[in-house]
Structure 1
Amino acid sequence: EPERVHIYHSLAQAEEFTQTQAHVHKAQVRSPTWAAGDERAPVYELLTGASPPDLAEAVRRYSALFPAPQADELHATPPVPARTLRRWRASFRQAQAELGSGFLGLLPCQHRQGNRLRKLPAETVALMEQKIAEEYERCEQPTLFSVWSKLLRACQERALLPPSYQTFCLAVKRRPQHQQALKRRGVRAAYPLAEFYHELELRTPRHGDRPFEIAHLDHTELDIELISSGTRRNLGRPWATLLTDAFSRRVRAAVLSFDPPSYQSCMLALRECVARFARLPQTLVVDGGREFASISFETLLARFEITKKTRPASEARFGSVVERLFGTTNTRFIYNLVGNTQMTKGDVREITAAVNPKHLAAWTFAALLERLQQFAYEVYDQLDHPALGQSRREAFATGLAQGGERAHRVIAESEEFRILTLPSTRNGTAQVVPGRGVRINYLFYWTDGFRDAGVERAQVPVRFDPTDAGFAYAFIRSQWRQCVSEYHTVFKGRSVKEVMLSSVELRRARQQHHRSIAVTAHRLAEFLNSVQADEAVALQRLRDAETKQAPPCKNQPQVTTTPESAPSSESLRLMEYTARPDQLEVYEEYQ
């Protein structure tokens, strides 16, 4: 009788096992007349298929068959039964005759022993794979148990042998993890499981071969709460815009803003880069944000011959240089400050008022900006980078010495550069209204060039200063003209963001009073001056109170009444009637 009796669930499974065993037997006894270098030669297959434990066992058997002369007692192998030695010697001689190497016959090849086919019928396996692909790998993220329950019901309807829950879980884990996460959780969740792009040939360096060749520009919201320097009121978390050089990993510019990522943040970063180095990168790598697709941004890049490269969406590895910088800034700097919000990334229900970052905030905007730039420009700049083998400042100096200074790329801080770094409207132009000028963000701006009859009612390119709503620029007769806003004393020094928020608040206040009106500069000026007006009224009231309490002037004549000059009853009745408040005409409300 055979040593093992194999039992199968179906005839198809038995035939599949027989064919597999026949294929394995042919691979083991194949003739050694293979061409040299063929990867399918039996010797190559047996050696590459043997695991380290198999090789160690083959060496032990070889040492037992051919013991070394005068072997040391410490290294002597334990005694092996004579029958086992005869079996090993027979396998050695057979492999030497068939494969040309007797050592291959001593390999145990345990991975080929036994019945390693699946015990489930092929129909059940196919149905299980179908249920996993159609029921489990869905964006609704059903549980394993619910899908397994549906599989059991489907097997009962088809009279198939159902799999166990453990077998079903193992089948789910053996599926491609990237495809499974892509179907269940989306592209961003599956991105860390995607394969890397391996380069097997020498190509252009991905980070350039000199400074200022490639730079990355991106934004991140810092994990820290800020407060006002005057009122100590919480202002929220700021946004940081960083421009870093890909070759030397040196931070070119670091700016802060409370506004979400916008064209203004990009322009501030580029201005900072020119102020520090008088240079801009030759290639700028950005993501797919709208702030990088504006006409003003494209114009600035084209003017200074800068190539823009957009990273693929939801693939952060293409911007790993700046993304890693964000993480380093948080872990090495922000997380060591009072008021950092790393606690909010866990279970927010565990946060109490005593440890709430909003209550512990102590840093102001100006103080954080100063320290952030000091960290980026001085501390981080002199730390050794593991990929460079030196500090970023040293790599920058070495790159300039090798690649050259390239003086023709120097950019001066001129009026042209300042105007090009100013944003424009959505269309880039504005119509000249006769007698009023151009309207930008609810405000009219005027310059003497608008008196030209050829310019009236024409669409002219315009730009405005985000930090000062009192001035704007219009392109008239082949030159940029500075324009002054109406109510200039009110809007001068106010940011465009403040004006826009004021217009929203004003419109909301009118809607609450069931009044639908258009926002004009006059109403905006009134709204922005409301605080100053209240202060002026309060000051006037104090002045009036002090005047009433003061004694009368010495030169003021004293009026005395005598019985003869006392008013009559008719006069008193008339005075009482005319002095009634409800009968007086109201011109305006006094607050």
Structure 2
Amino acid sequence: MTINLPTTIPQKSQWQLLESRWSCDSPIGTALSPYSDAELRTELERLGTPFEGQRYIWEARAKSPSRKVQSRKGNVISRYTSRKMGCRMATESRKAEFGAVVRYDCDGTTREFYCQPPQVRMSVELERKRSDGTVTVYQAPTPYTPDILRLTPYGIYVDEWKTEQDLEKLAEEYPRRFFKDDEGTWRCPERERHFAALGITFCLRSGNENGAIFVANLEFLDDFLCDKSAPLTDSAWRAIERITSASCPMTLGLLLTHAYPDKTPWNESLLVETPPDAFLVDDVYKAIADQRIFVDLDYDDLSEPEDVVLCNSRAQLDELQFNRPVPKAVSDEVSFGVDMGTEFVFKGRLEVFEVSFVSSESVHYFEQQSHNSGLMQVSDFERALFNRQILLLSSQPSTDKRLSQIDGLTDYQIVEGKKRFLIVRDLEAGKKVRCNLGPRQIQRIRREVRAAGGSLPAQRRAATPKRRSGGRCQIIPQQLDLIRETTERGNNSTNPSGAASYRTYVELSEAAGVEVVSRKTYYLHRQKFIDVKARQGSRVAYNEEPAIWYLHVEDKIHGGRPFHRVHIDHTKLDVFIKIRGKGGRVFRKRPWLTVVMDAETRMVLAFYLSMHAPSTISCMMAIRAMVRVFRRTPAIIIVDNGKEFHSDAFDNLCDLLRITLQFRPAHKSRFGGVMERLFGTTNTKLIHYLVGNAKALRNVRTVTRSVDPIRADLMSFAELHGLLDEYFFREYNLQVHPAHDHSPIEYMHLRFALTGRRLKRLTPYDSYFYILTCVPPSKGATRRLDKQMGVKVGHVWYWADEFADKMVRPQNLPVLVDMWDVSIVYALLNGKWVRCQSRLLMKYRKLTYVEWGYVMYEVRMRMHGEPDEALENTLYAVLNGHVLPDVASMTEATRQVYGDARLIEDHTATQKEAIIELPVTTPAELGPPEDDSIMRIPLPKAQKGRFKLNYNSLPTSRPV
């Protein structure tokens, strides 16, 4: 890992300088709406865009995105809902492309922008190396898809965003195609020429140009930049202005101490009337977003208000930016790197200056040709060095190089060095000293101490014995080459053992006439050439990689406020439970747990326990449980690459709630480290203490009947749900967490007090939200409306009285299915969701969507070749005389628990106000099913004939 501490301000590219000038005229949040067709035609004529360029822009507006985003090299895919464009946008990198999309969505310059615009074919210069070593350069047409197309009043731009490391690799591999010019701007001439012919400016940009702190501040202010945020009242602004006009510049934390103490719970939408001369925390951030008070968004992190400096005018902000103290690394650079004889130049001048003297307060220098001298304060010299106004001509060693020059001392070296230093001091004083050192060795030590000068630390350092080098290498190069060859031969999936590789090495050594090294020496040098990824795969290699430590403050991987970054993940619990199914059958299975966790506070927001494998239903139920308790949705949800998270239903829900989805790279578990640690903590502190835990099954061959968890007296589904509820909400959330030395719920309250309640993120738990968290049917999310029959889902018709309206015409309607009641679907008619019911299924309304899938699978098999009129009889025959598989029967236990928690029925007409804590479900005794439940039907005998099925092999993910 390379350590690079900043000693100079990053050099701004040509595009950054342009955007800085544009931002002066159009601050953030002041952009106009996207162009209309007529406005865009007029704008393209004004810019003189050629016909081919205009056609490309119109095609981009109609067909973007032109391809799907992909994650192949560990990049983070994001799906972001643009407020400016009013649509969902996908990006392929978290720092580069996603940061650019956030900036373009919030700036005051960009009118329109499109991700993954249409593909173009351009002529690219390629090289072909022949077997004789000659290189042939030729032109070849190559397809290319840009990252972002951007429409601004200043021109049309196409951006290609990459990380700085990727650009450096491209420059090293293709130096003629990719390079950085003298002004610090990355260039790609072939792409610039191609788009210039279209009247479009191509920009090759580095992810560092976004500014991590600036993007984080835009995300922080996003809730206050949108149109739905409450405007700043005159009374609140007068109260803020009275303090800032008298005290600015001041810290944001100091201003927040004067805010009115709002005691309203942060999950309530109530607005408390403040006194006439008072303001709330949200009012301060609204004033920053409206540019009434000013903050250096490129330098100060708004999520840490104690370090943010507020100014009451832009002139005051400019003065603050000019007089900011430089980082400590710059002071260290001047202290250790600038001395007598150091040469430097001023930016824009050719004269070379040399340092003549450095004191604690000033730097003296002279011009080498005219010998004119000058003087500069040390603070001014440091600031000029940081702002690149002064350039040192002597090479500046990196931090890693400086650390490598400092030898680490062992305890023996420290003790022995002190003894030798005292011996030399006594000998210099004329005393006689008895020691175990030879005369020549004493002479050498005294000579080194004298050469160290008058500094006592330098003298003691000179007397310290040096670290032993270990002698010369004991093997010859031919032996090392043979070790490398045999090891690299085994860098494949066969992964031969060390003994087998050594036998191969012995054979090669004897054939080459080279002396064979010992087995121990061979194993020692063999480790340097082993490729773990080639031998055992990328997952094992990833686990052996060193952990990445984030050294910079702007790397806020866990977000900057509550409900900013929330993780959702599933795990199969290491415990067996018993469930009573149809006809009194008892199942012993391991349940699935879905957890929602806030990354910054480490607070568990919700969980969902189920017997079915993770699906879109699990995601919807987890979101539903979170909103029911906290009445709030997060800004970003971080998930893995499971199919349920990539479903259209889950993405549409996040789009409607303006939630950004970020997908962790495949097989990169450290991106979800907070969730993995939570699962481990839950296992060690709760699950592994329960009867029926599956620890014994880790070594299946050693399991006996006495310790087999399946034979234990297992708890029920409701009992496990109650224990998890108790653990998460009354133990884990109330214990001090080492990440912030507070309990998660306490830290949540503290952070909301500092970062604002953000009423825009509140989401009421009502009928509309309940419908949004339902899932669409398979084989398309729309159904054709029949004026006489209604909408048909599967083989069943659903009807609503609104369909009888004479103004309603046959049309395709979006449809959502209630996963806990198969007799109900919801259809979107004229912009409103209507509740549709099936009279055929009213008797079986307690069937879940999972059970209904298996029922319809059997019905389709029996209905093969039968008329549609036989559907009702066939359905009754299947439900009354056919045994559903285990996974279908076990979902009834889930329904019983979450029915009590009011998560699977629309109770909005009678529901009470939500509270902060989810009530613990009382474990229910296993008893006979209800009288009106289809589950009361006794268990029939197995049928013989063509309907005998193996449910373990059924494609349960097939459409219903």
Shorter chain as normaliser: what TM range?
0.7 to 0.9
Shift of 1:152: 1.6
Of residues 453, 466, 472 in structure 2, which corresponds to 1:116? Answer: 472
Does 1:364 find its partner at 2:719? no
Matched residue type, 2:591: P
Contact 1:469/1:496 (<8 A) preserved: yes
1:283-340 per-position Cα deviation (integer Å, ceiling 9, x unaligned): 1111111111122211111111111111111112211122211111111111111111
Query: Residues 264 and 361 of structure 1: is their aligned pair in 2 closer, same or farther, counting only changes over 3 Å?
Result: farther
Name the stretch that deviates more: 165-174 or 217-226.
Answer: 165-174
| Residue matched to 1:502 | 855
Query: Residues 521 and 401 of structure 1: is their aligned pair in 2 closer, same or farther, counting only changes over 3 Å?
Result: farther
1:368-410 per-position Cα deviation (integer Å, ceiling 9, x unaligned): 1122112111111111111211111211111121122222322
**Distance in 1 between the 2:513 and 2:405 partners?**
42
Does 1:128 find its partner at 2:480? no
| Residue matched to 1:151 | 505
Shift of 1:357: 1.0
Contact 1:95/1:104 (<8 A) preserved: no
Query: Residues 159 and 431 of structure 1: is their aligned pair in 2 closer, same or farther, counting only changes over 3 Å?
Result: farther
Aligned residue pairs: how many?
Answer: 486
Query: Residues 210 and 106 of structure 1: is their aligned pair in 2 closer, same or farther, counting only changes over 3 Å?
Result: closer
| Residue matched to 1:308 | 661
1:409-468 per-position Cα deviation (integer Å, ceiling 9, x unaligned): 221122211111000134222344675544434544334555689988743211101111
| Residue matched to 2:416 | 57
Matches within 5 A, 1:495-534: 495-504=848-857, 522-530=873-881
1:124 aligns to what SS in structure 2? helix
| Residue matched to 1:587 | none
**Distance in 1 between the 2:446 and 2:619 partners?**
77
**Distance in 2 between the 1:479 and 1:186 partners?**
52
Matches within 5 A, 1:219-258: 219-229=570-580, 231=584, 233-258=586-611
**TM-score, scaled relative to structure 2:** 0.46
Query: Residues 50 and 206 of structure 1: is their aligned pair in 2 closer, same or farther, counting only changes over 3 Å?
Result: closer
**Distance in 2 between the 1:407 and 1:205 partners?**
23
Contact 1:121/1:161 (<8 A) preserved: no
Shift of 1:365: 1.1
Does 1:412 find its partner at 2:769? no
| Residue matched to 1:288 | 641
Matches within 5 A, 1:152-551: 152-175=506-529, 180-203=531-554, 205-229=556-580, 231=584, 233-345=586-698, 347-426=699-778, 427-432=780-785, 436-448=789-801, 458-485=811-838, 487-504=840-857, 522-530=873-881
2:468 aligns to what SS in structure 1? helix
Matched residue type, 2:876: A
2:823 aligns to what SS in structure 1? strand
Matched residue type, 2:422: S
1:470-512 per-position Cα deviation (integer Å, ceiling 9, x unaligned): 111222333323222362234311011112123445678x69x
Contact 2:880/2:937 (<8 A) preserved: no
1:230-263 per-position Cα deviation (integer Å, ceiling 9, x unaligned): 7471241111111111121111101111111111
Matched residue type, 2:527: K
Shift of 1:354: 2.0
**Distance in 2 between the 1:536 and 1:254 partners?**
34
Matched residue type, 2:624: R
Contact 2:449/2:463 (<8 A) preserved: no
Shift of 1:163: 2.6
Query: Residues 174 and 516 of structure 1: is their aligned pair in 2 closer, same or farther, counting only changes over 3 Å?
Result: farther
Matched residue type, 1:95: E
1:91 aligns to what SS in structure 2? helix
**Distance in 1 between the 2:516 and 2:865 partners?**
69
2:481 aligns to what SS in structure 1? helix
RCO greater where, 1 or 2, for CA within 8 Å and sep 6 or more?
2
What residue ranges of structure 2 are gaps of 5+ in the alignment? 1-339, 343-393, 883-933, 941-960
Contact 2:827/2:834 (<8 A) preserved: yes
Contact 1:444/1:521 (<8 A) preserved: no
Shift of 1:342: 1.6
Contact 2:592/2:609 (<8 A) preserved: yes
Query: Residues 361 and 147 of structure 1: is their aligned pair in 2 closer, same or farther, counting only changes over 3 Å?
Result: farther
Matched residue type, 1:354: S
Matched residue type, 2:546: E
**Distance in 1 between the 2:508 and 2:802 partners?**
81
**Distance in 1 between the 2:878 and 2:572 partners?**
31
**Distance in 2 between the 1:130 and 1:434 partners?**
77
**Distance in 2 between the 1:537 and 1:197 partners?**
57
Shift of 1:145: 1.0
Shift of 1:344: 1.1
Shift of 1:523: 2.5
Contact 2:421/2:459 (<8 A) preserved: no
Query: Residues 534 and 245 of structure 1: is their aligned pair in 2 closer, same or farther, counting only changes over 3 Å?
Result: closer
Contact 1:250/1:393 (<8 A) preserved: yes
Q: Percent identity?
A: 27
Of residues 442, 445, 449 in structure 2, which corresponds to 1:89? Answer: 442
Query: Residues 121 and 533 of structure 1: is their aligned pair in 2 closer, same or farther, counting only changes over 3 Å?
Result: closer
2:637 aligns to what SS in structure 1? strand
Contact 1:215/1:243 (<8 A) preserved: yes
Compare the two structures and name the one with the higher helix fraction: 1
Name the stretch that deviates more: 407-416 or 325-334.
Answer: 407-416
What residue ranges of structure 1 are gaps of 5+ in the alignment? 1-33, 71-75, 539-591
**Distance in 2 between the 1:152 and 1:95 partners?**
49
Matched residue type, 1:317: R
**Distance in 1 between the 2:521 and 2:938 partners?**
81
Contact 2:634/2:761 (<8 A) preserved: no
Matches within 5 A, 1:66-105: 66-67=425-426, 79-80=434-435, 84-96=437-449
**Distance in 2 between the 1:134 and 1:150 partners?**
10
**Distance in 1 between the 2:605 and 2:773 partners?**
17
Name the stretch that deviates more: 210-219 or 92-101.
Answer: 92-101
Query: Residues 190 and 47 of structure 1: is their aligned pair in 2 closer, same or farther, counting only changes over 3 Å?
Result: closer
Shift of 1:271: 0.9
| Residue matched to 1:5 | none
Contact 2:427/2:433 (<8 A) preserved: no
Contact 2:532/2:540 (<8 A) preserved: yes
1:317 aligns to what SS in structure 2? helix
2:822 aligns to what SS in structure 1? strand
Matched residue type, 2:435: V
